[in-house]
Chain A
Amino acid sequence: MRLFDVLGPVMIGPSSSHTAGAAKIGYTAQKLLGEVPAQADIGLYGSFATTGKGHGTDRALVAGLLGLRPDDPRLPDSFALAAQRGMQFSIHPVELRSAHPNTAVLTLTSRTGRQLSLKAASVGGGRIRVTEIDGVPADFGGDSNTLIIHNEDTPGCIAEVTMALALRRINIASMQVFRAAAGGYAVMVLECDSHIPHALERQLAVMPGLLKVTCLNVDEPEETEE
């Protein structure tokens, strides 16, 4: 384990898995949507559902969706903050089959109508894994700059994307390819070593065969405390 995983993270208590991990799930989802959602449906599974309330899992998820980091002191007051910013949300338990015991399922809608659904697990020490995005399996931790692309499951899509990254000298640290059904709809998840420019995101979005481009830049400046 890395030194600053043993000492750290700095976080709002009481639980690294149930509070800090939950906040990070919300935060990652908000980054992937690209803005604070107007509407959020939050399903809690397993231990998140049974002991979540006492650990502030609900408030942590909402805080993350508002763009607050897991160490933001405003985390406990996130419900009031959501009301101020006009984010509507509902929280309820969900039944899932063979999911990690600390799993949240988020369905988000932005002000402009953009939609995102996400299944993510808090896997300990404040670390998370996104296990599903828009109904297709995925597996990434939200610690690296990540490009998520929904594409038609046809030859050449992956080559187009990797070529576009290569032309911008962006190195790929890891790459995963998933699909719901052969010849249908697929998702690729690319964790990158450097910043993913918005211009590239826009360029990819209009490429033939690419249906949806989602970008998580963890190195982008944070919203500061008010």
Chain B
Amino acid sequence: MAFLSCEEMLAAARSQKITLAEAVLRSDLEESRLTEAHSRAAMRHLWQVMQATSQEYDPAQRSRSGLSGGDAAKVEQAWQQGRLLGDDYLAAVTAEALKTAECNACMKRIVAAPTAGSCGVLPAVLLPLARAGQADEDAVCDALYVAAGFGQVIAARATLAGAEGGCQAEVGAASAMAAAALCNLKGGTPEQCAAAAAMALGNLLGLVCDPVAGLVEVPCIKRNVVGAVNAVSCANMALAGVDYAIPCDEVIDAMGRVGSLLSPDLRETGQGGLAATPTGVKIARQLAQED
């Protein structure tokens, strides 16, 4: 059975004297009836697809609506020209989040992590580390198990669907998963992983789902960047020993409740938020006329 709380997940690792990744893996094997070898191969496959999506990014490609494409290339170019703030990692995280999310908008192959709309967050934080030789395949796969474990708890206690919980349930959840993954990758304790996830989700609480013209493009693609950068900051805080006052399970419960308090206009219907701005409405109208 998937864990119903982070508390339970951490306790399982503690009592069996195994890593958090191992605890998540074992709980899934009980439920899925997969063998460990099958599960690990499936996880490696997801990681390979994440890498392939990034490698196959085509700067010239545009989405069918014409609203998306080419932004990751702009960031990479500006970074190479030394025009950006921050270090190499921050620039790469920004570019990779855009890359995968733009690929999604352009009907390329991606890994829903946890959703298609939030598919850029996890690869964004992991790919630059792997490329820099700071994370091998096994370490990344373990980090992905940890991410999935927190994602399963979010699914069990709240939701991963924008239509139910708004963007906090998609990019917010992806950010929490990525923060825990990073924390695990950098040798953080299970408690620090949970703190990182709690902070990341807490920071994005209330984020609405307001896609312009109902498409997974504006503002979804750039929100993947926010989810990724937020994950890095929260992992850093947790690794530094910074605590979060609210336990991860309670943050997740709050996210679920906030989601149900959100007006349906702000839950993927394309009726509120940025979708309802004069420009958002104009774009939607133009696209409808083209069809």
Contacts and interface: CB of A to CB of B under 8 A. Distances in A.
Interface of A: 1-4, 6-16, 19-20, 47, 50-51, 53-56, 59, 71, 73, 75-76, 124-126
A2 B217 contact: no
Interface stretch (B9-17, B107-115, B192-200): B107-115
Given A3-B32, A125-B115, A12 B64 contact: no
A184 B212 CA distance: 49
Interface stretch (B80-88, B144-152, B227-235, B253-261): B144-152
A40 to B, nearest CB: 20
A199 B22 CA distance: 43
Contact of A19 (B116, B145, B148): B116
A1 B49 contact: no
Nearest to A73: B109
Given A4-B42, A55-B216, A15 B116 contact: yes
Given A10-B110, A51-B214, A55-B216, 20 more contacts: A1-B2, A2-B31, A3-B145, A3-B148, A3-B149, A6-B148, A7-B112, A8-B46, A8-B113, A13-B110, A14-B63, A15-B116, A16-B115, A47-B214, A50-B214, A54-B215, A59-B107, A125-B115, A125-B160, A125-B161
Contact of B116 (A2, A13, A50, A54): A13
B165 interface: no
Interface stretch (B70-78, B98-106, B236-244): B98-106
Point out which of A1, A59, A126 has the most chain B C-beta atoms below 10 A from its C-beta: A1
Point out which of A9, A16, A56, A59 has the most chain B C-beta atoms below 10 A from its C-beta: A16
B213 A51 contact: yes
Interface residues of B, number: 51
A7 B178 CA distance: 12
Contacts of A19: 107, 116
A1 B31 CA distance: 10
Contact of A16 (B65, B112, B270): B112
12 contacts: A3-B2, A3-B28, A6-B114, A8-B111, A11-B110, A11-B116, A13-B107, A14-B215, A20-B112, A51-B214, A54-B213, A54-B287
B281 to A, nearest CB: 15
Point out which of A20, A50, A55 has the most chain B C-beta atoms below 10 A from its C-beta: A55
B282 interface: no
A10 B32 contact: no
A6 B169 CA distance: 12
Contacts of A56: 64, 107
A55 B119 CA distance: 15
B107 A14 contact: yes
| 9 shortest interchain CB distances as A-B pairs | A13-B104, A51-B214, A6-B151, A1-B155, A3-B28, A14-B216, A76-B107, A54-B215, A7-B148
Contacts of A12: 107-110
A19 B115 CA distance: 12
Given A2-B31, A3-B2, A14 B104 contact: yes
Contacts of B217: 14
Contacts of B65: 54
B186 interface: no
Contacts of B144: 7
A50 B270 CA distance: 11
Contact of A7 (B103, B108, B113, B215): B113
Contacts of A7: 43, 46, 111-114, 122, 144, 147-148, 151
A3 B21 CA distance: 12
Contacts of B105: 13-14
A50 B215 CA distance: 11
A2 B119 contact: no
B24 interface: yes
A11 B49 CA distance: 10
B108 A73 contact: yes
Contacts of B106: 13
Contacts of B32: 2-4
A13 B119 contact: yes
Contacts of A50: 214
A24 to B, nearest CB: 13
A125 B113 CA distance: 10
A13 B103 contact: yes
Contact of A15 (B111, B149, B216, B291): B216
Nearest to A77: B107
